[in-house]
Structure 1
Amino acid sequence: MKQNNLSYKMYLVTDLFEGTEEELLAKVEKALEGGVTLVQLREKEADGKEFYERALRLKQLLDRFHVPLIINDRVDIALAVGAFGVHVGQDDLPLKVVRSLVGDMIVGVSVRTVQEAKKAVEDGADYIGVGAVFPTSTKLDAKGITKEELTEITGSVRIPAVAIGGITAGNIEKLNGTGIRGAAVVSAILKSQDPKKAAEELNEKLNIQ
């Protein structure tokens, strides 16, 4: 698979950014300098044309740093811009359908139970996003899972698991020892005055080999 040498350690999600596109790209660039290893473009409000154009610009930036682009939900956008992968939730297109459309592109799926994690593997997922692991302002309806549940989920599958939800420099160390391969971060980087420093601090505190 394409993901052989892929690092999920510092997984930036561009969700609910309130600035301009230029400001977003500038923050992402600083975050990349700080060690972000993967970027997911999540655009819940954008129309197709806007999403496509933003994805193209972001991919051009990421290509300079040799960092993969993951598109949230929109398989068509992922295919159109030649993204590295696509990430879907439990209420999006069925994973088997997504896999049939994208071929060897990596596919991630959001889960919050062992059952959902195992089903994701059966249906062809390359990695899972598990959460919310802490209370989060970006998904107010997200139900939290405990550290014990997170550890149980990561131990139930052989594909990489990425923790998501409310992760900050103040709590990321609580994820050490749970078996995750990375942490998906939104506000802790994008709302920071110094995204490079924020990414460096998060990277330093997350103990993943």
Structure 2
Amino acid sequence: MIPAVPVWVKVRKILCSFSDFIFLAEFFDLTMKKYVSKFHYLTHDLPGFSHIRQVQMACSAGANWIQYRCLTKPEDELVDEINEIAEICDEWGATLIIANHYDLIDRVDAQGVHIDDIDADLPTIRKVIGQDKTLGVSAANISEVLKLQNTGVVDYFTYGPFATAVNDGADDKPALGFSGYRDLEKLNIGIPVIAVGGIRPGDVENLLQTGVNGIAISSAIIQVANPAEMIKEFYRKLY
């Protein structure tokens, strides 16, 4: 059962609350950049906990940026599920980003795509999705960051892993630690950076001090008994 949407959420959707307007100054450069949230919730293919239920849980707990990451379904099922999730996100005023399936952008109600493959043809993907959609990319080291920066088409990028090795089907990517983000800050990349990979609530304050714009979380939420409360804990650390 989908939780009832609070009145304040409905009012925000219609009028845009004053507090949201204030936050635009922090996150949104009207001349150059799209809005990028401080908190990204990443769904996972999980037995017994569907993507739809994950999004219901995350949105009801306050998440306003959802990245849909399904790697196991055929195209038609993906489209149906994304559009069902889009309705949930619309009800709660959350941004919906789909991972990798940029070719579906004209068939779904999503605000953008996130590309895991740093070697993908990002300028072509930008042409496919259009200028109004958000384009995010995954990066694991400085050379990859410089590569995506040089394309001039990326709105934000995730950078990691922070604390745990990530296997993307090729080689394990080494953890960056706090020092890896401090090294990145020195380069003045000019694109919002979202830390990812093994982040816990206790890491958030020090991570923000390295200059990152936000965090992307999945395992730290889905591996606990009360995922919604964990999302709220991350929000308390972020704001």
Report the TM-score, using the length of structure 2 for normalisation. 0.76
Corresponding position: 1:201 with 2:230: no
Q: Which residue of 1 aligns with 2:182?
A: 151
| Aligned CA distance change for structure 1 residues 192 and 110 (closer, same or farther; 3 Å) | same
1:142 aligns to 2:170 (yes or no): no
What percentage of aligned pairs have identical amino acids? Answer: 25
More relative contact order, 1 or 2 (CA 8 Å, 6+ apart): 1
Q: State the alpha-carbon separation in 2 of the partners of residues 25 and 44 from structure 1.
A: 14
Residue of structure 1 in register with 2:3 after alignment: none
The within-5 A match list for 1:58-137 is: 58-90=85-117, 93-104=120-131, 105-123=133-151, 124-135=153-164
Determine whether 1:12 maps to 2:45.
no
Structure 1 residue 139, shift from structure 2 partner: 5.7
Task: Give the SS at the match of 1:87.
Answer: strand
- Where does residue 197 of structure 2 map in the other structure? 165
Instruction: Look up the match of 2:16.
Output: none
Per-residue deviation, residues 116-173 of structure 1 (Å, max 9, x unmatched): 2122122110001100111157869332113122222244311110011112224334
Paired residue total: 205
Could you tell me how far apart the structure 1 residues matched to 2:73 and 2:179 are? 36
Kept in 2, the 8 Å contact 1:155–1:179? The answer is: no
| Contact 2:36 2:192 (8 Å CA) reproduced | no
Match of 1:86, SS? strand
Letter in 2 for 1:122: N
Q: What runs of 5+ residues in structure 1 fail to find an aligned partner?
A: none
Which one-letter code corresponds to 1:45 in the other structure? T
> Among 160, 182, 189, which residue is 2:221 paired with?
189
Distance 1:39 1:125 in 2: 18
- TM-score of the pair, normalised by structure 1: 0.86
CA RMSD, 1 decimal = 2.5
Which portions of structure 1, spanning 4 or more consecutive aligned residues, are displaced by more than 6 angstroms?
A: none
Tell me the distance in 1 between the aligned counterparts of 2:39 and 2:97. 13
Q: Distance in 1 between matches of 2:228 and 2:84?
A: 20
